[in-house]
Chain A
Amino acid sequence: MRAIVKPDHRAPVAVVMLWYRVGSVDEFNGTTGVAHVLEHMMFKGTNSVPAGEFSKVIAAAGGRDNAFTSRDYTGYFQTLHKSELPLAMKLEADRMVNLVLAQEEFAKEIKVVMEERRWRTDDRARSIVYEQLLKSAFGAHPYRRPVIGWMNDLENMRVEDAREFYQRWYAPNNAILVVVGDVDPQQVFALAEQQFGSIAPKILPVRKPQEEPPQIGIKRITVKAPAEQPYVLMAYRVPVLRDPENDWEPYALDMLAGVLDGNEAARLNRALVREEQLVSSAGADYDNVARGPGLFYLSAVPTPGKTPQQAEQGLRRELQKIASDGVSEDEMKRIRAQLIASQVYQRDSMFYQAREIGVMEASGLSYKTLDLMIEKLKQVTPGQVQAVAKKYFSDDTLTVAYLDPQPVAGRRPAAPPAGLRHAQ
């Protein structure tokens, strides 16, 4: 197990994060969502800590705790007074090996996860658009599946699925401990040795690359869902960071996203929202750190009276301008200024600092490259931004999703169903 400690002595507080290099990317068809279901079950009891007790113990120690699951990783965290660090680490070590996964707890928790899916995705039109876009953009790579899982897979999931996943992936040699706070690194390392040192490593399954074949033509989908405003989401296939020292394109793409949408004066807002008033809002999004293939997203909500087609054309026009005319040194300077400032602002949050380190490590890059990445971003030239804008934004690698808003029928007072009538 790797342990990374970043001292921050501004308050007598510590953030403990235990990251597992496993996420929805490691699931199989039929059991999508199991990484996240297991994350929920990690709070449901070990041999020595009964269900629900984990959070109670942390709360009684003045702490806050929670967890998150993504495509590439699963993370568990506690924020607490620094003197309670041993408690948090002890509990994490315990549930790394001693999880019970009782059928009775599973039966309740899978219902909670289904509620979570309804809340996050099924009842939110734009979430469905995003889910459907990924499914279209990727045919082979597991990024095509939603982290929360397909509803039918959740309905048919068994506790054995979670247990199998746990046994397969949860081991010290697949985990990274990150601690940020008012701590002494040597003491944290000693604690980590004490708590996790005796846990046996596992032979981890060999991960198949599951590379996505090249896209050879535009893909278009339409999603019909209850909404008022139409919405356009576009995704271009682009590279992500594999060799932080020698790659340059992912840095240029990051700067391109900044030029388009990095601040209120950036191009999409200025040109499309303010000047043309073609869209109510527009965005560009790109994350250059990922285990799997990368996408560069553009999105927009058309102004009333404008169509998604017009909004899409507007977004394409802005990209085209950069491909043909490039970007100004002024714009680059502005993005660099924000980069420098955000480096300072981020240090105001221990949680953010721990998260940043964990994301890098869990994605297969070292935390040591964080500083290098900032330097590399600063070195990107206007010519490089133009070069990636020319190279990567062809129709052949594009997936476009339109939201076709459906009327929300029956928004009028309902006859209370039996029982509810007497609810009050």
Chain B
Amino acid sequence: MRNNRRLTWLAAAAALLLAAQAHAILPIQHWQAKSGARVYFVENRNLPMFDLSVEFPAGAGYDTREKSGAASMTSQLLRLGAGGMSEDEIARQLADVGAQLSPQFEADRAGLALRTLSGAAERRQALDIYARVLQQPEFPAAVLEREKVRLISALKEADTKPETIAALSFSRLVYREHPYALRSTGEAGTVSTLTREDLAAFYRRHYVAQRAVVAIIGDLSREEAAAIAEQVTAGLPQSAGSEPQLPPVAALDAGSTRIISHPALQSHILIGAPGISRGDADYFTLFVGNYVLGGGGFVSRITEEVRQKRGLAYSAYSYFAPQLQRGPFVIGMQTQRDQAQEALAVVQKTLRDFIDDGPTEKELTAAKQNIVGGFPLRIDSNRKIHGYLALIGFYRLPLTYLDDFVKNVESVSVAGIKSAFARRIDPDKLVTVVVGAAEDKTVTSLTTH
């Protein structure tokens, strides 16, 4: 049987990645640092380098409406002045040892990632700067003012782009009063009001040792990794009170359609609704089901119907983006304006058919073959493994997440997919946004954002 053969490969993958612990696909070591931070570590001596990240529940979802953009600006400014060093000194000293420092920022999490050579001199210098940037950011007022000007200018530029207009409108309709509706970088109007005190306060409240997640992979021993985890989290702010919680996302009461005119040649179309949270029991069922619907690239139904059969779009897709609270389910595509109606009808029918009938057994088998057979590709580099470490750590997924991945995919059934989609996606309660539909003449009762 074909799938059994795939499992043999996985055994081979495991044997390669971890001679010592043949029972696990990836030997994740996990402990809590003295600071309270949760640490996730994989030792990998193949290359003389390592990847490190520290992340917090400090993403855009933790912004308030009034100070929207504080979360993003805080993460951006960490490395622009810290521990007595100017932004220029920080940049120079990192570049001197070839280290790469990058802010991480999403709806839920925010933090900093570092990639550096593992040689003693490079490591010492890179970690010294990383520790300062993470634990002693200064948020210099002059730098903030400059960055505000740059960001506002970039926001105005982005506001002219149909894809931005579509994405913002979509978020607002799907998430309404929920913080996930806020623009992740803030709006020009809120960004302009941000002060260094706002950033410092956001930092103190959200970049807290007890909630830090440290993910490390590379050319280090467990002892070295432990020392690094202490070095970069011991000086973080201490928790003062309970962990800030994101409110739950309410389901949509009704469907809505927003059509926004734009002179672009293509209409940008987004369809969707609140989807699922991380750790949802239906996650694997929906993940496999969506592969058939619009996640499987060239072989998905949406691509087949929209692109392969009709040539209506270059790119058409669907995905679930699980977050702490229900992340979005999204279908997206772009097509020449006068075809928007046709493309929309095709996608809507494709979705309805899928929800009504589910995938065929043949489609499900093909999906499993790809996801199971392609599993080694998910962990074939340090960068990808690091991504899983950070994900497992932040969302408190089981340490056996990767070990169980194949089993979880294998256990998905046609009936399960049909049931999960029917429960989760109501085709009559979807948000539809079309930007660039037509040269309009009249303003209708639809309001815009």
Contacts and interface: CB of A to CB of B under 8 A. Distances in A.
B285 interface: no
A344 B118 CA distance: 10
B91 A264 contact: yes
B157 interface: yes
A378 to B, nearest CB: 13
A55 interface: yes
A36 B391 CA distance: 38
A108 B308 contact: yes
B266 A229 contact: no
Given A83-B9, A111-B312, A116-B314, A414 B261 contact: yes
Interface of B: 6, 9, 12-13, 16-17, 46-49, 87-88, 91-92, 94-100, 115-117, 122, 146, 149-150, 152-154, 156-157, 159-160, 162, 165, 255-266, 296-299, 304, 307-315, 334-336, 340-341, 344-345, 348, 366, 369-377, 379-383, 430, 432, 434, 437-444, 446-448
A11 B376 contact: yes
A12 to B, nearest CB: 5
Contact of B88 (A80, A270, A412): A270
Given A123-B264, A424-B256, A12 B443 contact: no
Contact of B380 (A10, A229, A280, A416): A10
Interface in A291-346: 301, 303-304, 333-334, 337-342, 344-345
B446 A413 contact: yes
A345 B153 contact: no
Given A51-B308, A115-B314, A423-B434, 13 more contacts: A55-B298, A55-B299, A59-B369, A62-B376, A123-B265, A182-B16, A229-B156, A277-B146, A344-B117, A345-B115, A348-B382, A349-B381, A420-B341
A180 to B, nearest CB: 11
A266 B96 CA distance: 11
B183 to A, nearest CB: 16
A60 interface: yes
Given A62-B377, A115-B336, A123-B162, A265 B95 contact: yes
A350 B153 contact: no
A422 to B, nearest CB: 9
B377 A280 contact: no
B258 A115 contact: no
Given A81-B373, A122-B265, A226-B160, A415 B438 contact: yes
21 contacts: A10-B46, A11-B381, A13-B380, A52-B298, A56-B298, A64-B374, A113-B314, A115-B334, A116-B314, A226-B160, A227-B157, A264-B94, A264-B95, A337-B95, A341-B99, A342-B98, A344-B48, A411-B160, A412-B260, A413-B448, A419-B345
Count chain A CB atoms within 10 A of each CB in B98, B258, B304, B309 and give the residue with the most. B98
A59 B261 CA distance: 38
Which label, helix, strand, loop or mixed, suits the secondary structure of the A interface? mixed
B95 A228 contact: no
Contact of A52 (B308, B336, B348): B308
A56 B335 contact: no
A410 to B, nearest CB: 5
Contact of A413 (B6, B9, B115, B443): B443
B13 A11 contact: yes
A213 interface: no
Interface of A: 9-13, 43, 51-52, 55-56, 59-65, 79-81, 83-84, 107-116, 118-119, 122-123, 182, 226-229, 262-266, 269-270, 273-274, 277, 280-281, 301, 303-304, 333-334, 337-342, 344-345, 347-350, 408-417, 419-420, 423-424
Contacts of B439: 410, 414
B261 to A, nearest CB: 3
A410 B95 contact: no
A109 B311 contact: yes
Contact of B96 (A12, A281, A333): A333
Nearest to B156: A228
Contacts of B314: 112-113, 115-116, 119
A64 B259 contact: no
A345 B116 CA distance: 9
B315 A119 contact: yes
Contacts of B88: 265, 270, 274
Nearest to B162: A123
A304 B95 contact: no
B92 A334 contact: yes
Contact of B334 (A81, A119, A266, A412): A119
Contact of A412 (B48, B309, B443): B443
A408 B262 contact: yes
Contacts of A413: 258-261, 440, 443-444, 446-448
B383 A348 contact: yes
Given A111-B312, A229-B156, A413-B448, A11 B440 contact: no
Given A13-B380, A274-B146, A344-B47, A410 B261 contact: yes
A420 B262 contact: no
A109 B314 CA distance: 9
Contacts of A337: 95-98
Given A344-B117, A412-B443, A79 B377 contact: yes
B263 A410 contact: yes
Contact of A420 (B16, B150, B157, B434): B434
B98 A341 contact: yes
Given A415-B441, A424-B255, A410 B157 contact: no
B311 A111 contact: yes
Contact of B297 (A59, A116, A334, A419): A59
Contacts of A65: 298
A309 to B, nearest CB: 18
Contacts of B375: 62
B312 A59 contact: no
B263 A408 contact: yes
Contacts of B374: 62-64, 80-81
A378 B441 CA distance: 62
A62 B447 CA distance: 46
A423 B258 contact: no
Contacts of B312: 111, 115
B313 A416 contact: no
A81 B16 contact: no
Contact of A62 (B115, B370, B381, B430): B370
Given A13-B377, A417-B341, A423-B348, A349 B95 contact: no
Contacts of A80: 373-374, 377
Contact of A263 (B49, B91, B437): B91
B259 A420 contact: yes
A338 B95 contact: yes
Those 9 A-B pairs whose CB atoms lie nearest each other, nearest first: A62-B373, A341-B98, A414-B440, A111-B311, A414-B261, A11-B380, A265-B91, A62-B374, A108-B311
Nearest to A263: B95
A115 B298 contact: no
A111 B311 CA distance: 5
Contacts of B443: 412-413, 415
Contacts of B116: 341
A262 B95 CA distance: 9
A56 B95 contact: no
Count chain B CB atoms within 10 A of each CB in A56, A115, A273, A281 and give the residue with the most. A115
